[in-house]
Amino acid sequence: MGKKIVKIIKIDANKCNGCRACEVICAAFHATPKYSSVNPARSRIQMMRDPMRDIFVPVYAGELAKAECMGRNVYIMDGRQYDECSFCRSACPSRDLFKEPDSKLPLKCDMCEDDPPQEEPLCVKWCLEDALTYEEREEEVEDDVKSDEMEMGIKALVDKYGLDNVVDTMARMSEKG
């Protein structure tokens, strides 16, 4: 048995005032060099914001979706109808969200990975409304889970590309170090 840290950002959308400070600091932090430019379109957190309908949802960039979903969802809560895909974290071919504005490469929240580590994710730090709060939780993990996961992943690649291709690629990658 091992332990892993689960990092959680809690989003209290009712507290959000729509200021987009979270977008500003995320974009600045991920600039190279750090903080050398601002462009909220590059932020890994995006505000779904429509004050006229009282919609204020901060959404974090998650995994890349290679293809758009078979169908889309529209949520209605407390009488408010949210736009299609409002809560989805994916950079997806169906929309511009969570993509670098020039290269269109997908963006993903990395919880402000840094060396030395930040005390807390920066969007959380800059949200003085406490709409975003940070928690860490320790979770027990089975040691072999990782290899299980890996096996599943490789199997998927083999199914897709064929064993030879996958082996060749692995060999090439290990040469490069």
Partner 1 sequence: MRYAETGYNLEIDLTRGNIEKVETDPRDTELYLGGLGTNAKIIWDRVPPETDAFAPENVLIFSAGLLCGTPATSANRTIVTSISPQTKLFQYSMMGGFWAPELKLAGYDKVIMRGKAPNLVYIWINNDKVEIRDASHLQGKGAVETQELIKAELNEPKAQVAAIGLAGENRVFFASIEQARASCSRGGLGAVMGSKNVKAIAVRGTKDLYIAKPAELIGLINEVLEYTKWRNEHPIPNYMPILASLGSPQEMKHDDEKWHTENFSWGNSRTRRRGFWNQDIAEDWKKTMETMQGRLISCFNCPNKCGATLTPPGQPTYMMKCFTKLTYTMAAFSDLAFGLSIAQRATEYGIDGYSGPQVMAFGFELLEAGILSDADFAGMPEDNDGKFYWLLDRIVRREGIGDILADGTYWAAERIGKGAQAFAHNNIRKHEQLPLKLGTMDPIYYLLYCCNEKATVTQIEGNFPQAPFRTQEEKDAFVSDWFQCPSERIKEVVQKWSFKGEFAGPYYPTPEMCSEIVDWQERMHYVDDCVGICAGMSAFPLKPPYHLFNYPKIISAASGIEMDTDELVKITKRVRNLVRANNIIRGLRRVDEVPPEDHWNKRFPELEKELLDTYYKYKGWNNDGVPTKEFLHELNLDYVAEDFEKRGIYSETPSYELAAQKEKEV
Q: Kind and range of the H or E element at 79?
A: none
Which residues, numbered 51-70, are part of the site for ligand SF4 (CB under 6 A)? 58, 60
CB-based contact 94:64 (threshold 8 Å): no
Tokens of 26: 């995320």
Residue whose CB is less far from ligand SF4, 85 or 132:
132
Residue whose CB is less far from ligand SF4, 38 or 167:
38
CA distance 40 to 29: 11
User: Looking up tokens 């890349």, which residue turns up?
Assistant: 64
Interface stretch with ligand SF4, choices 32-40, 82-90, 117-125, 141-149 (CB under 6 A): 117-125
Residue whose CB is less far from partner 1, 8 or 38:
38
CA distance 145 to 125: 33
User: If you count them, how many residues does the chain have?
Assistant: 177
Q: How far is the CB of 17 from partner 1 (least distance, A)?
A: 4
List contacts with ligand SF4 (CB under 6 A). Answer: 16-22, 26, 29, 44-45, 47, 58, 60, 109-112, 121-123, 126-127, 129, 131-132
